[in-house]
DNA sequence: TTCCAGGTGCATA
DNA sequence: TATGCACATGGA
């Protein structure tokens, strides 16, 4: 897994991924993966199985800086996730490390999500509405607790269905108006929640990659602009290959 | 002990 | 519009 979702657990021969109130077990074999789930259609879409990644990789391989990352992360897919879960997850992710993000999000499921038997569902908006700032603190959400409470309150008035057909930049403007959502988190929501691949989330890792391979710049707004100009509709895919590669070789 | 993590919000100029 | 700083928390 590569940092797109935080609700998964390693197993002896693969991993179990939790999305919304569903789960899928992914078992790794020598030449293929097997996905075991009761929700076949949901996870067929979730793992983006209908998209031709071979074609995408061929185009992106023209860029020298992407050749090794594509080889290294050849199995990467852009996960099409539940919108509410993506929004909350990436607000929690801001200025945080993956281990701690995972811990907070599992605690959120366990304390406020429906008991599904052998796991807990991600809380519905209705359940989230009842969580206080103090309770978010108790989960370990730190200073994001107040942002989360404010955000959840704002979400009550949002009709995401009507957003889905709109242009990327239109949705982005609406997202950054919400509490806890800035340009980077908005890009992640657009990519993993709305399936918009013409975005390039720029975080601390991508900033490093950019300065290593593409140019010299510390302004993330400008880096994003340059990279989306370069990769256009394939920006989101390019970002994932670069992110995964960079993070794998620079952290534990 | 200090630095850093998939940054954002807010004050200041 | 642009820059700088504070913000919880835990691991390295």
In the prediction, which pLDDT does A3 show? 79
Residue A143 beta carbon within 7 A of nucleic strand C: yes
Residue in A192, A206, A191, A218 with CA at minimum distance from that of residue A243: A206
pLDDT tens digits for range A179-214: 999 999 999 999 999 999 999 999 999 999 999 999
- Distance of A187 CA from C12 C1′ (whole Å): 29
Task: Find all residues with CB under 8 Å of A77, minimum gap 6, and list them.
Answer: A47, A48, A49, A51, A53
Which nucleotides of strand C lie within 7 A of protein CB?
3, 7-12
Handedness of CA A2, A203, A53, A55 (dihedral sign): negative
Give the pair of three-digit tokens for residue A181: 């959502």
Predicted pLDDT at A252: 43
**pTM of the complete model beyond 0.85:** yes
CA gap A139, A161 in Å, rounded: 30
Q: Which residues of chain A have pLDDT under 50?
A: 252
Q: Which nucleotide is nearest to A145 (CA to C1')?
A: C8
Contact criterion met (CB below 8 Å) for A70 and A60: yes
Express each pLDDT in A74-110 by its tens digit. 999 999 999 999 999 999 999 999 999 999 999 999 9
């Amino acid at each position: 897994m590569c940092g797109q979702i935080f609700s998964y657990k390693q197993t002896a021969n693969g991993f179990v991924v939790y999305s919304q109130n569903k789960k899928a077990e992914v078992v790794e074999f020598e030449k293929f993966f097997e996905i075991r789930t009761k929700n076949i259609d949901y996870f067929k879409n979730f793992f983006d199985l209908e998209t031709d990644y071979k074609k995408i990789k061929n185009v992106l391989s023209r860029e020298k800086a992407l050749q090794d990352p594509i080889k290294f992360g050849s199995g990467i897919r852009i996960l099409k996730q539940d919108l509410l879960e993506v929004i909350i997850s990436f607000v929690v992710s801001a200025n945080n490390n993956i281990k701690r993000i995972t811990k907070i999000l599992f605690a959120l499921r366990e304390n406020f999500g429906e008991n599904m038997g052998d796991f807990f569902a991600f809380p519905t908006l209705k359940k989230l509405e009842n969580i206080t700032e103090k309770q978010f603190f108790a989960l370990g959400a730190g200073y994001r607790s107040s942002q989360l409470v404010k955000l959840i309150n704002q979400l009550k008035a949002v009709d995401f269905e009507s957003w889905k057909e709109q242009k990327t930049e239109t949705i982005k403007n609406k997202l950054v108006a919400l509490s806890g959502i800035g340009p980077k988190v908005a890009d992640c929501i657009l990519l993993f929640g709305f399936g918009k691949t013409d975005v390039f989330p720029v975080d601390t890792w991508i900033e490093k990659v950019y300065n290593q391979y593409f140019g010299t710049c510390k302004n993330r707004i400008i880096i994003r602009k340059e990279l989306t100009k370069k990769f256009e509709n394939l920006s989101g895919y390019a970002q994932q290959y670069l992110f995964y590669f960079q993070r794998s070789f620079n952290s534990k």
